[in-house]
Amino acid sequence: MADASTKNHDYHIIDPSPWPLIGSVGALIMAIGGVAWMQTLKGNDFSVLGLPLGGPWVFIIGLLIVLYTMFGWWSDTIKESHEGHHTRVVSLHLRYGMIMFIASEVMFFVAWFWAFFDAALYPDDAVQVARLAYTGGTWPPEGIHVLDPLHLPLFNTITLLLSGTTVTWAHHSLIVGDRKGLVWGLGLTVVLGVLFSFVQFYEYSVAPFAFKESIYGATFFMATGFHGFHVLVGTIFLAICWLRALGGGFTREKHFGFESAAWYWHFVDVVWLFLFFAVYIWASAGAEIAVH
């Protein structure tokens, strides 16, 4: 009689994990800390149950807990793979999960594009809702000097397109067994991601409009700012993959971590193309370009 405990399927039940609970607690602390920090920046006091929570420290504590959760949880996932638990069926479902995550991110950016186009196509209606300054019935609003789309935004567009090429080179190198190409491709992608973030930070520092002055600034900074945050996350994601690649952590058959990072990076690239053509080029047509 066959052993009843013999595994005869492609699924596995993971060991009890503390990471969902720890991650949830960290996210809650980070959210409360973020609100407290913003209130402090506005000159207000913020306390919970009589405990003052001003300053960035509560937010930083929550962020560290979340980062620790990510490290521990992903380390456990890598361990499961090395133990042979990631069968074809499990690997397929991991890919389904990543696809669903990217789909949710698409809808997240759809909301910001919706807000931007609603304000751009019906500027006065959007202003009445947001209670911001009158636009003069034009977009961009009267008095707004926009950034030159063929200067820093074009440079960043080329940078991201190049990074999409290098991450594809790295993926192809892994498939054909070229470890050197994998390491170089990933390393260049990380460098390009860091370059993009520095250029965007500089662009924000010289922007001739502010977040709170108009509906244009609000929609601009929310859309491009959240994209910049995703670039930062993707760069960290790829940097970790690069460190793993240096240690021989990926093979032709087992490289879901890198594959999901590459998918995420291509998603970031595509979103930026929409932002570049809609927010920078289309919205600046006929507007006065700021001179620096």
pLDDT in tens, 10-59: 777 778 899 999 999 999 999 999 888 888 888 888 777 777 777 789 99
pLDDT at position 238: 95
pLDDT tens-digit profile of 235-273? Answer: 999 999 999 999 888 888 788 889 999 999 999 999 999
Measure the CA–CA gap between 169 and 157, rounded to whole angstroms: 19
pLDDT at position 208: 87
pLDDT above 80 (res 131): no
Least confident window among 33-47, 105-119, 150-164? 33-47
Indicate the Cα dihedral angle 57, 105, 253, 238, nearest 10°: -40
pLDDT category at 291 given cuts 50, 70, 90 is: low
Least confident window among 73-87, 149-163, 175-189, 218-232? 73-87
pLDDT category at 142 given cuts 50, 70, 90 is: confident
Mean pLDDT of 192-214: 91
pLDDT at position 180: 93
pLDDT above 60 (res 129): no
pLDDT above 70 (res 133): no
Mean pLDDT of 151-167: 95
Structure tokens at 23: 């991650």
CB 49 within 8 A of CB 128: no
Measure the CA–CA gap between 26 and 59, rounded to whole angstroms: 9
Residue 105 class from Cβ within 10 Å (0-12 exposed, 13-18 middle, 19+ buried)? middle
Other CB atoms within a 10 A radius of the CB of residue 191 amount to 15
CB 287 within 8 A of CB 140: yes
pLDDT category at 132 given cuts 50, 70, 90 is: low
Mean pLDDT of 152-170: 96
pLDDT at position 12: 72
pLDDT at position 125: 61
CB 115 within 8 A of CB 222: yes
Domains annotated for the chain, with CATH where assigned, are 17-85 (1.10.287.70), 87-282 (1.20.120.80)
Task: State the helix-helix crossing angle for 215-246 and 88-121, rounded to 10 degrees.
Answer: 160
pLDDT category at 1 given cuts 50, 70, 90 is: very low
Mean pLDDT of 173-188: 94
Other CB atoms within a 10 A radius of the CB of residue 29 amount to 20
Mean pLDDT of 141-150: 84
Q: What is the mean pLDDT of the chain?
A: 87
